[in-house]
Amino acid sequence: MAKNQNTFAKRQREMEKKAKAEAKRARKLLRKQDGGNDNAPEPQADEPDTIEETD
């Protein structure tokens, strides 16, 4: 019976890989359609741009 579990686990890994690759392909396609010139991530709103010093 262990062989079936290993086969099932392998199939699960393969399916996860395929799903991940498909998601990546879709993201790349979206980026390409949107222009794709924005490689740098935008700063988060809750992060300050400068560090304030307090005395």
What pLDDT is recorded for position 49? 61
| Three-state SS sequence of the chain | CHHHHHHHHHHHHHHHHHHHHHHHHHHHHHHHHHCCCCCCCCCCCCCCCCCCCCC
- For the chain, domain boundaries: 1-34
Tens of each residue's pLDDT in the chain, 55 residues: 556 778 999 999 999 999 999 999 999 999 999 886 655 555 566 655 666 666 5
Report the distance separating Cα 35 and Cα 18, nearest Å.
Answer: 26
Report the distance separating Cα 9 and Cα 2, nearest Å.
Answer: 11
What pLDDT is recorded for position 2? 56
